[in-house]
Amino acid sequence: MLLATLAFSIMNVFVKMLSRIPAMEIVFFRCLVSAAICFVGIGRARVDWKGNNNVLLIARGASGTLALFMFFITMQHLPLATAVTIAYLSPIFTTLIGVVALGEHVRPKQWLFYATAFAGVLMIKGFDSSVPLLYLFTGLVAAVGSGVAYNLVRRLKEREHPIVVVLHFQLVGVGAGFIFTVFNWVKPVSAWEWFCLLMCGLLTQFGQTCLTKSLQAERIAHVSILNYTGMIYALIFGVFIFGEHYPAQTILGIVLVVLGVVLSVIFGQRKPLEVIDESELAE
């Protein structure tokens, strides 16, 4: 899990370094690399890549692509740790969507934890002038999109092979990214930019592999909390690579968000994949 979180965190750094490249173009290349690797896995697993629940698969892919697109935009325009913190709200939205769509229940104490997390967001917005309302909104949309995607993954559990679900997310990302890129192509001008695009795909696949192995080897409740070490990586990378500075109130807001989400996961009734970054979710 620690290797997975590190891989996803380094991928975030490469995305932020690609600030000249449109976010949807990054989504295209990232999903293209991952889709190619998925097809290799499908060949080895000998399963039908088309799947049987096409509407749910496409909906899962669309929501995941939207979340990834919005998350990349947020990372390109906000301090790294702030963008990652907002993305960490996805477990809360996953649970709330589950309450509405699946009729699930939330323990009373979890509402307190949710309020703590959102209070942290308000503190970040209120005290950090580097957080425009527009990009705070895109970050929240990314978290909601991840919540929708995770609930759809749960609906597809035992209906589809996991790699088929992952593949359709990549295929939707490739399709949507291709259409956007055709009309808004920004050519990478250096070998470094091409390298960053390649690493976005490879690191995602490596992180997902480590993530899967950790969840197969140990109980989710024991390893999922380690996912939030990504916050430490984001702060370190933000300060030392991008020269970012965080006011004390922003650090407190970040702590409140992470604390609220982690406590909601620990004391929640569910111990599912929504505590895991999609990338990411998603990834």
**Residue 261 maps to a domain:** yes
**Residue 129 maps to a domain:** yes
**Residue 133 maps to a domain:** yes
Q: Which residues of 257-274 are buried (b: 16+ CB within 10 A; e: fewer)?
A: bbebbbbbbeebebebbb
CA nearest neighbour of 255 among 116, 161, 49, 98: 116
What is the longest distance spanned by two Cα atoms in the chain?
53
**Residue 211 maps to a domain:** yes
> Cβ distance 147 to 97 under 8 Å?
yes
Give the model's pLDDT for residue 151: 82
pLDDT tens for the 283 residues of the chain, in order = 788 889 989 999 999 999 999 999 999 999 999 899 889 888 888 888 888 888 999 999 999 899 999 999 999 999 998 898 888 888 788 778 877 776 767 777 888 888 888 888 888 877 666 678 899 899 999 999 988 888 888 788 778 888 888 889 899 999 999 999 999 899 998 999 999 999 998 998 888 777 766 655 655 555 566 777 888 889 899 999 999 888 888 888 888 888 888 887 777 655 444 444 444 444 4
Return d(Cα 258, Cα 92) in angstroms, integer. Answer: 11
Q: Give one DSSP letter per residue of 26-38, joined into a string.
A: HHHHHHHHHHHHH
Beta pairing partners, 278: 281
**Residue 98 maps to a domain:** yes
Q: Which amino acid is at 255?
A: V
**Residue 118 maps to a domain:** yes
> Cβ distance 231 to 88 under 8 Å?
yes
**Residue 280 maps to a domain:** no
What pTM did the predictor assign? Answer: 0.84
Return d(Cα 175, Cα 170) in angstroms, integer. Answer: 9
Number of domains the chain contains: 1
Give the model's pLDDT for residue 156: 83
Q: Which residues of 46-71 are buried (b: 16+ CB within 10 A; e: fewer)?
A: ebeeebebeebbbbbbbbbbbbbbbb
Which residues span the domain enclosing 175?
2-275
The single residue listed with the structure tokens 């892919």 is 61
Give the model's pLDDT for residue 203: 92
Backbone angles phi, psi at 278, to 5 degrees: -65, -40
**Residue 70 maps to a domain:** yes
